[in-house]
Amino acid sequence: MTIAKLASLGAIALGFALAPASAAELKAYPNANDIAPPLTHIEKYAPVLEGSQGPAIGEKGFAVEDFGNGAFFVTEGVYQVLFVRTDDGLILVDAPPNIGQKLLAAAEEIAPGEPITHLIYSHPHIDHIGFASGIIEAFPDVVTVAHQETADNLARAKDPARPAPATVFEGVGNVFPLETGGQTLELRYPGPNHQDGNIEIWHPDSNTLMLVDVVFPGWMMWRRLALAEDIPGTFDVIQDINQRYDFDNLVAGHVGKPGTKADVDLQVEFMIDLHNAAGAALGSVKPGEGVDPADFANPWGVFDNYIDRVVVECVNALTPKWQDKMSGFDVFIYDQCMAMEQSLRVDGPSLRG
């Protein structure tokens, strides 16, 4: 028998000897919360809270809400877009594939026989603009508009579903007015946040603000702080918008209902509590406690154990106050604590005063 074969037999024998515990034998941390951690089969999630649902979605598969002065909110229950009616047709902000063809039906309902003249991309993510090609196919003269960061991202992506925008504006913090057919939208890039290029879209005539993937009205944020590319930047933006804009309606991109300033305030409060809970846990939990000494040569293992215990502390601290304040709290709270503690360790504090 060759040495290689001997070695591989040895590895197999060792594998059997040190096989990890089966799923049934896996133990929770001693002080773990009742909320099931990730990768656990959950028989039933906590009930959706009253008031978290949006307008009823009928047979046509989408709902339209008139915000007045030409602004219309459209949702199929999970994604949201904004239409603005002008003298020449419609401006559409975002084209989520989940709504897809229903966007064309919604346009026809809002402005029968009128074209979509402008399509604004809030940011490059596929789930929000992946039906751009469908809009362009239906209205070949549509003018696509986005920030330079979004244009750069799409140039790299080379995705036929998300063509590069025809009109691009640049800069951080300045306002780009889009004036067409008697309507004005003000576009502004506040700097890095959920994704580079993610912009604020302000329609002053209806007091409507659109900002996507930052606020989740009535709901826990999507997992890992909604996949924020820049967590401190996301904190900056959400803490700024209630002061900057006097809005009555927030088109947040997700969940069924539009948002209000109260939804923003509630989520800011949650994010501050999350920041503080993760920070406190990072300070109180001791690395290495309870780790098998045989694992001390495995820094990934030691840190996995440490991070798990930090997350358990963070979840425990937030659950009593927050579990009945936002739908889906139990679904993603572990993800939020993990994202926050990781950001605190590599980005530093997100509450920068």
Note whether 213 binds Zn ion by CB under 5 A.
Answer: yes
- Distances in whole angstroms, Cα of residue 195 to Cα of each of 78, 133, 162, 234: 20, 21, 16, 9
Q: How far is the CB of 263 from Zn ion (least distance, A)?
A: 18
- In the complex, residue closest to Zn ion by CB: 125
Q: Which residue lies nearer to Zn ion by CB, 118 or 194?
A: 194
Distance CA 219, CA 267 (A): 9
Q: Which residue lies nearer to Zn ion by CB, 9 or 157?
A: 157
Segment contacting Zn ion (CB under 5 A): 48-56, 88-96, 167-175, 206-214?
Answer: 206-214
Question: Of the candidates 95, 64, 52, which has an alpha carbon nearest to the alpha carbon of residue 219?
Answer: 52
- Distances in whole angstroms, Cα of residue 6 to Cα of each of 3, 11, 12, 13, 263: 5, 9, 10, 11, 64
Distance CA 122, CA 150 (A): 8
Question: Of the candidates 180, 182, 158, which has an alpha carbon nearest to the alpha carbon of residue 167?
Answer: 180
Q: Which residue lies nearer to Zn ion by CB, 125 or 309?
A: 125
Q: Which residue lies nearer to Zn ion by CB, 124 or 218?
A: 124
Segment contacting Zn ion (CB under 5 A): 139-147, 171-179, 208-216, 280-288?
Answer: 208-216
Q: Which residue lies nearer to Zn ion by CB, 139 or 219?
A: 219
Rule CB under 5 A: choose which of 85, 102, 118, 125 binds Zn ion.
Answer: 125
| 85: region left, alpha or beta (phi > 0 left; psi from -120 to 50 alpha) | beta
Distance CA 106, CA 124 (A): 23
What would the two tokens of residue 322 be?
């927050």
Q: How far is the CB of 121 from Zn ion (least distance, A)?
A: 11
Q: How far is the CB of 269 from Zn ion (least distance, A)?
A: 23
Q: How far is the CB of 222 from Zn ion (least distance, A)?
A: 9
Q: How far is the CB of 253 from Zn ion (least distance, A)?
A: 7
List interacting residues with Zn ion (CB under 5 A).
125, 213
